[in-house]
Chain A
Amino acid sequence: MIDRRLFTSFDWKVLLLILLITAVGILNIYSASASYRVVGTPYALKQFYWSVIGIGLILMICSIDYHILEDVSYWCYGTIIVFLLLVLVAGKTSMGATRWLNLGLFTMQPSEPMKIVIIITLARYFTRNQMPGLLGIKGISIPLLILLLPAALIVKQPDLGTAIMVCLVAATIMVAVGIRWSVILSLVLTSLPLIVIAWNFLLHTYQKNRILNFLNPERDPLKSGYHLIQSKIAVGSGGIFGKGFMHGTQTQLRFLPEQHTDFAFSVFAEEWGLLGSVIVLILYLALVLWGLHVASRCNDRFGTLLAVGVTAMLFWHIVINMGMVIGLFPVVGVPLPFFSYGGTSMITSMVGAGILLNISMRRFMF
């Protein structure tokens, strides 16, 4: 069962790359939360614990053949859909928003595993239902249903960030499978009226405000617009070499919102400057390119699509988070993988990394 080649073909360098990003992240959280009044365990230490759990998960995932995922994918999909429905019906509601589900022993947020499950499900669908040529309207209708059901449930919670993420990941998989330009065009055209509907009926006031404030920061210079401005000042004032660890004035004076979670990169850019930011950017780019490389050298279609999906998940998290921090995108609550504080994000990212390493080390088996 255990093939020696599994060890020799394990990508130790990639694991090191991930550990490096995580370590820089923990250091950064230490600085970002230095001005906080600490209640209980400091954030940096908690993040360290999460990363240890995450590495354990990577090793666990690598010990199991990823093809099992193909068999269980629809079951996982069904289960998470049921959980998402349960959240809407019986989730923990606190002042109107419902994301958490109490499972007796622990509470869970089923929208988060959906990010991974949608990848597995679509990878299986496109593996088992291969069609000659590029995908047309017909070929894309079932995958769209598979995507829109959870996406709608997640928007309803409301959790716009996760819903957008799930859609982007699914779209990337479809592009990798190959899709006709005419289909893309018609999807864009039909989604316009859907956006109007979503704007009027699905989005909450706070979500609408975030988007409006992005388009015009002066609209609300004290709140969400203020966050964007302050984040830009933080990044820009870092200059080439940065203000130094623990010396970012924007950070330490707490101009930044959620500076240990969604705006963690803003802290880093202020304290380490263009030099530091570019290094982190290169580390992330290396990770993404390696993920795509794993996809293209994998010998079976399921593995390829799985690798594309997981890489897309990491990629879009990175791009949307960084884009938000530097003022390219509106403020949507999307964390930076391995870098932002938070157990949920850390676990999802590590599981994704585990799947990629798994596919990579089994490339010789088929």
Chain B
Amino acid sequence: MKGQRYIRGGHDLSKRLYLISLGAVAIFLIILSRLWFLQFIEVGRLREMSENNRLRFIPVAASRGVLLDRNSKIIVNNTPSFSLAVVPNEVKDKDYLLNNLSRVLMIEKSELLARWERVKGRAKYFPVVLASGLTRDQVEYFEENSLRLSGLEIEVKPVREYPEGMLASHLLGYIAEVSEKELEVPDYSDFNPGDYIGKNGIERSYEKYLHGEDGGRQIEVDARGRFLRVMNETLPVPGQSLVLTIDSDLQKSTEKALGDKAAAAVVVDVNSGEILSFASSPGFDPALFTRRLSPEQWASYVEDKRNPLENKAIRGQYPPGSTFKIVTALAGLSEGLIDEKTEVNCTGEYKLGNGTFRCWSKKGHGRVNLKTALRESCDVYFYALGEKLGVDKIALYARKFGLGEPTGIGMDGEKSGFVPTSEWKEKKTGIKWFRGETLPVSIGQGYLTATPVQLAAMTSGLATSGKIYRPFIVKKILDHEGKTAKEFSPEIMKTIDIKPEHFRLVREGLLAVVNEPHGTGAAARLYEVKVAGKTGTSQVVKMNDRKQAVAYKNRDHALFVAFAPFDKPEIAVSVVVEHGEHGGGSAASVAGQILRKYFELKGVIKRPSTDSEDESSDDEPEGDAE
């Protein structure tokens, strides 16, 4: 075996290997002769090019596209920032220079010296930044005295400016220096260390539109490094600007309604998929990231339990709780397992095998039908329905509403949520799906999770009787002259094959949730516009483990989804308040405030509101009070 295996006969190749060796030597000789040509024959010319007429390449960054809201109001802008750098090799009198700088910049001499020395041991030809954010006067002074103060360079860089402060920070994202890893990717091949790129949110996802093309100047400098003339110039092409779908006024109200809670809210136009408002709370200050975060600032963000850096609207995956009853109800109707008259007697608990599943109301709801079960969010009704449907039917309908997959909103990092099936569990754990596990899923608990943006899309599908538009955030791309370069049109993401009358029945249930006595979502009621919605409470810790006062981290999440107006739906809203206890309280009132603002902006509701019963009316100190 062995003899046959290692076939002998390397030797028959040795003649060719000899020729290959000769070939290798020949190619090395070509390289050698080229080196000799460059370094021996051409050395004079090339050394002159490198020494006397120093060419310098000064990159000129393209101004980054700005971000506008749907009403063309600027929410992210650029502003030039001047910084002062020194080229140590070209300084004649260091002490004199430092005294001068200290006086003009109003920075201690010792501090300037420390900044200077930071680069000790490295090349003396490379400019060291001593101060940034110079005033116009300071820039003028240095330019006028450039002969006296040799070795100084003024660098101009456009930096991001945020006229609206922290507004929509997660949606917009921030920009910062390109990292080493990013530089290895070929599409970043035109970037250099020190360039700024979008790191998050729209700034990242739309980098290629926003960035523009950097230009540069090839300049000739004299032996001291002073500018002589421009040899060659490529003008930068400014980046394209984006018109977003969001309404900054509505966005502001949304963030105000969320306050400093760990929460998220999404408002979507049900007839197009345009995101009108997109908030994750608490926010962060994008301006801090542009100017390099101090370690303390970074720590304060990272250590905050409310997770300010996380974009909860697309990355927060929460059990949808009772808001999911919308899907369970439609599945039951569509499968013919229930109709509007089907009744279930809720005694406060539901028995299945050895298990007892509780309704949130201990004393029970008595006899309930679809509408009252939705209105009062009776769990027992949906346990009974869920048992008949089975988990796989529920999963089928959940997917029809876009759960379990990213919506494709157009931002990096969107999570998909999760829709469990019996096959998934068996594959993962090897254990069969128990019927008892279906019951929590039918009321939106258990393994089921969804992101706030998915919940908004799901609700829009109910509002439109089965047509879900893909949520999107960028309406138009404008070139640097302000002309429309690209316009994004609505795209249908899901068409749900459920009969319109079934949708109508569930919608009516949701109307009752907000507007009828015993409804759980009264906090979202508006008197001028009919609002329909559904509360949800998603358990963080199991019921039986509960004590009277539950620690913050174990408190339930509060959810609320809504659409309005009831008769001709325009918008859908989803709100998740982490550890907000009951959906009927905190989340519904947030949704109510958002909806009120929307209809105020449309002129449907006059402001200020005279509604004393609505919780949201007292925190809008508008100027034109009677």
Contact = CB atoms under 8 A, between A and B. Distances in A.
B606 to A, nearest CB: 48
Contacts of B11: 296
B9 A301 contact: yes
B203 to A, nearest CB: 13
A94 B185 CA distance: 7
A235 B38 contact: yes
Decide if the interface of chain A is mainly helix, strand, loop or mixed.
helix
A87 to B, nearest CB: 13
Interface in A306-351: 308, 315, 319, 322-323, 326-328
Given A130-B9, A296-B14, A240 B20 contact: no
A221 B31 contact: no
B49 A226 contact: no
B6 interface: yes
Nearest to B47: A237
Contact of A235 (B32, B35, B189): B35
Nearest to A43: B180
A96 interface: yes
Contacts of A36: 122, 193
A171 to B, nearest CB: 11
Contacts of B25: 285, 289
Contacts of A273: 39
B39 A236 contact: yes
A252 B34 contact: no
Contacts of B207: 95
B625 interface: no
A307 B14 CA distance: 12
Interface in A15-41: 34-37, 39
A328 B34 contact: yes
A252 B123 contact: yes
B617 interface: no
Nearest to B46: A236
A115 interface: no
B495 interface: no
Given A250-B50, A296-B10, A236 B180 contact: no
B35 A298 contact: no
A56 interface: no
B304 interface: no
Interface in B386-411: none
B187 A97 contact: yes
Contact of B17 (A34, A281, A308): A308
B31 A322 contact: yes
Nearest to B118: A37
B552 interface: no
B17 A269 contact: no
Interface string A263-300: 00000010001100110010011001100100111111
A308 B7 contact: no
A301 B8 contact: yes
A206 B189 contact: yes
B34 to A, nearest CB: 5
A81 interface: no
B37 to A, nearest CB: 8
B554 interface: no
A228 to B, nearest CB: 12
Contact of A226 (B32, B34, B57, B193): B57
Interface stretch (A143-151, A173-181, A184-192, A193-201): A173-181
Contacts of A285: 24-25, 28
Contact of A236 (B7, B21, B38): B38
Contacts of A235: 35, 38-39, 46
B232 interface: yes
A233 B182 CA distance: 29
Contacts of B125: 35, 249, 252-253
Contacts of B46: 232-233, 235-237
A95 B188 contact: yes
Given A221-B232, A289-B21, A176 B43 contact: no
A238 interface: yes
B99 interface: no
Contacts of B39: 235-236, 238-240, 269, 273-274, 277
Contacts of B34: 326-328
B186 interface: yes
Contact of A35 (B16, B17, B123, B189): B123
A254 B54 CA distance: 12
Contacts of A254: 126
B197 to A, nearest CB: 9
A328 B27 CA distance: 12
Decide if the interface of chain B is mainly helix, strand, loop or mixed.
helix
Contacts of A223: 190, 216
Nearest to B233: A222
B567 interface: no
A233 B189 CA distance: 22
Contact of A176 (B13, B28, B42, B123): B13
A208 interface: no
A303 interface: yes
Interface residues of A, number: 74
B510 to A, nearest CB: 39
B603 interface: no
Contacts of A288: 24, 28
A95 B185 contact: yes
Contacts of A35: 122-123, 125-126
A67 interface: yes
Interface string A224-248: 0010000011111111100000100
Contacts of B123: 34-35, 246, 252-253
Interface string B159-188: 000000000000000000000101001111
A273 B39 CA distance: 7
A301 to B, nearest CB: 5
Instruction: With a 10 A CB-CB cut-off, give which of B17, B40, B51, B232 has the most chain A CB atoms.
Output: B17
Given A239-B43, A285-B28, A292 B35 contact: no
Contact of A295 (B10, B57, B124): B10
A263 B603 CA distance: 64
A56 to B, nearest CB: 24
B13 A237 contact: no
A304 interface: yes
Interface in B118-169: 121-126
A288 B31 CA distance: 15
A344 to B, nearest CB: 10
Contact of B6 (A67, A99, A158, A252): A67
A106 interface: no
A301 B10 contact: yes
A240 B43 contact: yes
Contacts of A255: 55, 57
B539 to A, nearest CB: 31
Contacts of B232: 221-222
Contacts of B484: none
Contacts of A232: 38, 46
Nearest to A282: B28
B208 interface: yes
Nearest to B234: A222
Given A95-B188, A158-B186, A237-B49, A298 B10 contact: yes
B7 A176 contact: no
B187 to A, nearest CB: 4
Nearest to A239: B43
A204 B186 contact: yes
Contact of B10 (A221, A226, A278, A304): A304
A302 interface: yes
B494 interface: no
A308 B20 contact: yes
7 contacts: A177-B13, A222-B232, A237-B49, A237-B51, A296-B11, A326-B38, A328-B30
> What are the 8 closest A-B residue pairs judged by CB atoms, nearest first?
A236-B46, A304-B10, A252-B123, A237-B50, A236-B38, A35-B123, A95-B187, A274-B39
Given A204-B186, A223-B216, A300-B7, 5 more contacts: A128-B7, A175-B20, A226-B218, A232-B38, A255-B57
